[in-house]
Amino acid sequence: MTQVNRKSLGEAYCPFSDEQREHPYAFYALLRQQEPITYSPEVASWLITQYKDIRSILAQPDLFSSRDVTRPVTNVTPATSKVLAQGYAMMPNAISSDGLNHQRFREPYVKAYAAARTIKHEGRVREAVNRLVDELMPARHADIITQFAYPLTLEVLLHTMGIPQERMADAKRWSKDLIAFLYSPLSEERQVECAHGLVAFQHYIASLIEERRKEPREDAISEMVHSQVAGAEPLSMNELVSALCGLVMAGHKTTIDLIGNGLVLMLNSREHWQKLGEHPELLPTTIEEILRYDSPVQALSRTTTDQVTIGDVTLPAGARLLLVFGAANLDEKQFPEAASFDMQRLPNRHLGFGYGIHFCVGAPLARLEGRVAFEVLTQRLPQMRLVPDQPLMHSSILAFRGYQRLEVEW
């Protein structure tokens, strides 16, 4: 357990340290129980860790703005700004806007990724999962992140967006650059490198936008380009580019981590893996429990728009909050036996997809991919196990929690 020798637990919050990155939950428990609202100089934010407080904040978007969600963790250097000037201005998008502006971005996403429309992609998802398993099986060993979860989720997302599969390698590289740029502490050299990737990403997305203006298709890019919310301005080119780059980034990263985190939970207990293979009807509740127990989205920010009191702490307008979903989803006051992984947990009102008007529009697609992936893997590779003694390292990203590599064998 983390040793604390400072004035407050907030001062001991070091999410990029090896210890807290790899083993955050014991420290989260201390925060929830002793200082559920505390200031962290490390991220210049008030940490919010109890379920009831986070859910209340998410239910009041007028008081708690999303405007700073995509503010980079590292200050942008002049050299980086010079590179970024060659691309498109980074604008607010669905995750980082409020009110009518948020509606302008969200409405086309809702249409593109509605559950009734998403279920039509199940055949494509199942075909991709089986094809990837076919490719892996002869070797009897794989890094399941880079050889399965990454190509699966990126292929499916690009298909729904209408981006050609031959650009998958570029999209993967550019998405990694954007995630690192926003959510990782970077040297100036690495920040500049990421900025070059982001600019290339922006110009490619802009070319697709121009194509869809002329020839709309049944895909998410066309929905964004041709959407019009009553009483609001159409999305500008800068807004469209920012929104669609963000969709590629977040639309597959969280599902990769859902699959990776879930596999570790399942394979650490042969009983869980075997049970899931014998009872595929447990897949929906198991997916929800993975999202609760080891949340792919660990934290997102909000900013107060007025003086507000949370618990016994009063904060001024402009205060930045970090909502620690990973802590809230293990809150003993909300979830009986919260520290136990329960494949049949009901009810399970976790915050893995957020809550309120910013509830993740990609949730139906993520659930579909997770369900099909675990169903096929448990049926076709029932002897899958984690390679012993491998170092399981998480990516150093504030918002997301997922493994860099995950070696399995069968």
Tell me the torsion sign for CA atoms 175, 179, 182, 187.
negative
> 394: which DSSP letter?
B
64, 304 in Cβ contact below 8 A? yes
Report, in angstroms and rounded to the nearest whole number, the Rg of the chain calculated over CA atoms: 21
Residue among 255, 144, 243, 232 at smallest CA distance from 201: 243
Q: What is the pLDDT of residue 2?
A: 42
- pLDDT value for 3: 44
CA distance 278 to 300: 37
Positive or negative: CA dihedral 396, 397, 401, 405: negative
How much helix, strand and coil, in percent to the nearest 5, is found in the chain?
55, 10, 35
223 has pLDDT over 90: yes
> ∠ CA 161-162-164 to the nearest 5 degrees?
120
Q: What is the pLDDT of residues 160-180, one digit of tens each?
A: 999 998 998 999 899 999 999
pLDDT for residue 310:
97
pLDDT higher than 60, residue 1: no
**How does residue 228 score in pLDDT terms, banded at 50, 70 and 90?**
confident
> Are 33 and 45 spatial neighbours (Cβ–Cβ below 8 Å)?
no
Amino acid at site 387: V
Residue 269 is predicted with a pLDDT of: 87
Alpha helices in 3-77 (DSSP H): 18-22, 25-34, 51-58
**For residue 6, pLDDT beyond 70:** no
Computed over every residue of the chain, the mean pLDDT equals 95
At residue 5 the predicted structure's pLDDT band, cuts being 50, 70 and 90, is very low
Alpha-carbon gap, residue 179 to 401, rounded angstroms:
12
Would you call 162 helix, strand, or coil by DSSP? coil
Q: Is the pLDDT reported for residue 4 higher than 90?
A: no
Eight-class DSSP state of 316: -
Handedness of CA 70, 118, 135, 145 (dihedral sign): positive
| Band of residue 249 on the pLDDT scale cut at 50, 70, 90 | confident
Per-residue pLDDT, 197: 96
Residue matched to tokens 């203006």 = 213
Q: Which fold has domain 10-409?
A: Cytochrome p450 (1.10.630)
Q: E-strand spans in 216-334?
A: 299-304, 308-310, 313-315, 320-324
Asked if the model's pLDDT at residue 22 lies above 70, the reply is yes
What does the domain layout of the chain look like in residue ranges?
A: 10-409
- Bridge partners (DSSP) of residue 310 are 313
Q: Which residues pair with 321 in a beta bridge?
A: 46, 302
Whether residue 375 has pLDDT greater than 90:
yes
Report the SS3 class of residue 399.
coil
pLDDT in tens, 131-142: 999 999 999 999
Is 70 exceeded by the pLDDT of residue 61?
yes
Beta bridge partners of 142: 408
